[in-house]
Amino acid sequence: MARTNEQLTQQEIDVFQEFCSAHRIISDESEVGQANGNLIGGYIAFTWREDITPQTLAVAFGVLRDRIVFYTPARFEYKKIADEDSARANTLNQWFHSSANSSLFKDGEQAFQISPLFLPNSGAVKLRQKPSKMR
């Protein structure tokens, strides 16, 4: 469908976000996420002068795949869990980067590989608590 206006609609943004999530494409507010959005959205909306739909995204994906930046599997797993419970993810992130964490990786891919192990089971808030004495 030919573009009817210059601005992206909320529906186009939602379709884009859903597509990116399904394909592990970084589409957050980071520099990389914005670059991906500009690349894909610009290709569809300005080069093709088409609306952003699941169909146009699928075609653009095939053409642009080698220039798109994707989440690694570990980062994507962390993102899925964090999206479900951002408060727990934020607490865990603060703990990871605090002085209380003296043994686990704080940055990089290793940190993202470790993080999902804590979130589903332990409740990130409990990480700083000392174990209670058994009676």
Count of other CB atoms within 10 angstroms of residue 14: 11
Residue 127's pLDDT is: 41
Determine contact, residues 124/91, Cβ cutoff 8 Å.
yes
Q: What's the pLDDT score for residue 15?
A: 97
Question: Please, which pLDDT band fits residue 106 given cuts at 50, 70 and 90?
Answer: very low
- Whether residue 81 sits in one domain with residue 63: no
38 in the same domain as 54: yes
**Least confident among 11-15, 70-74, 85-89, 122-126:** 122-126
How many separate domains does the chain show? Answer: 2
Is 133 part of a structural domain of the chain? no
Does the model's pTM come out above 0.75? no
Predicted confidence at residue 25, as pLDDT, reads 97
100: containing domain = 73-127
* Residue 4 banded pLDDT, cuts 50, 70, 90: confident
Q: How confident is the model at residue 77 (pLDDT cuts 50, 70, 90)?
A: confident
Residues 22 and 62 in one domain: yes
Q: How far apart are CA 131 and CA 36, in angstroms?
A: 45
Q: How far apart are CA 87 and CA 2, in angstroms?
A: 41
CB atoms within 10 A of CB 37: 20
* C-alpha count within 13 angstroms, C-beta hemisphere, residue 90: 5
| Average pLDDT for 114-128 | 48
For residue 85, tell me if it sits in a domain: yes
42 and 63 housed in the same domain: yes
User: In 1-135, where does DSSP find H-type helix?
Assistant: 10-22, 31-42, 54-64, 73-84, 86-96, 108-122
